[in-house]
Amino acid sequence: MTETTTTTPVKNHGVEETRNGNYFTPRVDIIETENEILLYADMPGVRPDDVDLRYENGQLIVRGKTQRPEVKGTLIYSEYEVGDYYRVFAVHETIDAGKIDAEFKNGVLIVHLPKQEKVKPKQVAIRAS
């Protein structure tokens, strides 16, 4: 990743226990295109209404609330961990913060971080003589 992209200071992909309750670090893919940075955050078990995405002081804050699935019958064995998602990303100043947009599809949060016009690559015309 270059300086102009979104970076993440968090490397723990397990459960973080520094807050009340369990918080998971969602795994992400970050892709840079000519016009934007795309951040894909895997947040299974989160409903779209339970996602909280904020941009504050140069940081993109991702939170997702999960709820234990309702089980009918006697639970015999469980590996499903219940906990919320939390992750913070430093956003470079070349991102146009006023145009950040997001969508949520099939448990994946997709954040569009558009680049400012002045930092987008521009084709330079070459004159032939």
Q: Residues near 120 by Cβ (< 8 Å), separated by ≥ 6?
A: 34, 35
Going by C-alpha positions, the residue among 37, 25, 16 that lies closest to residue 61 is 25
In what order do the strands lie in the sheet containing 59-66? 15-16, 23-24, 84-90, 59-66, 46-56
Task: Say what the pLDDT of residue 21 is.
Answer: 66
Task: Say what the pLDDT of residue 7 is.
Answer: 39
In 3-state terms, what secondary structure has residue 97? helix
In 3-state terms, what secondary structure has residue 70? coil
Domains of the chain, start order: 15-119 (2.60.40.790)
Residue keyed to tokens 């397990």: 14
Residue 65 burial (C-beta neighbours within 10 Å; 0-12, 13-18, 19+): middle
**Residue-wise pLDDT tens for the chain (129 aa)?**
333 334 333 444 444 445 566 788 999 999 999 999 999 999 998 999 999 999 999 999 999 998 877 888 988 888 877 789 999 999 988 999 999 999 999 999 999 999 998 877 777 888 888
